[in-house]
């Protein structure tokens, strides 16, 4: 697996949570440790991208999260359709 930036991870997390999803399912699908998954879920929740249903113990993307996802796909498709390459230091890759 290639190194992913936080934007890629967040998009993956939001894609998974289009439907109500439990934390362990998110963790396995995003392919991250439990600790990192919790950090990203907390960041997404604090920024209004997902919401947590305490009763059913599920996370689900909010309208704001789905808007982020649409914009993420718009930008990435623009970059890759044009054949542009993004330098490592600009791409914001974790590493």
Q: What is the C-alpha separation between 26 and 43, in angstroms, rounded?
A: 14
pLDDT tens per residue across span 43-87 = 999 999 999 999 999 999 999 999 999 999 888 887 766 666 655
- 57's tokens: 């113990």
In a domain, 91, yes or no: no
| Closest residue by Cα to residue 58 from 49, 67, 47, 50 | 50
Q: Is the pLDDT of residue 89 over 50?
A: no
C-alpha closest to that of 45 among 71, 72, 26, 73 = 26
Number of domains in the chain: 1
CATH of the domain at 34: 1.10.10.10
The verdict on residue 53 lying in a domain is yes
Q: Which two tokens stand for residue 52?
A: 């947590």
Which residues in 7-94 belong to E strands, given as ranges?
Answer: 50-53, 58-61
Over the stretch 2-54, which tens digit does the pLDDT of each residue have? 678 899 999 999 999 999 999 999 999 999 999 999 999 999 999 999 999 99
pTM attached to this predicted model: 0.78
């Amino acid at each position: 697996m290639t190194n992913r930036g936080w934007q890629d991870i967040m998009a993956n997390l939001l894609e998974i949570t289009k439907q109500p999803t439990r934390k362990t399912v998110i963790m396995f699908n995003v392919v991250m440790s439990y600790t990192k998954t919790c950090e990203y879920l907390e960041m997404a929740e604090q920024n209004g991208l997902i919401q947590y249903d305490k009763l059913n113990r599920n996370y689900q993307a909010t309208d704001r999260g789905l808007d982020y996802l649409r914009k993420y796909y718009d930008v990435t498709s623009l970059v890759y359709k044009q054949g542009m390459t993004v330098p490592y230091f600009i791409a914001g890759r974790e590493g």
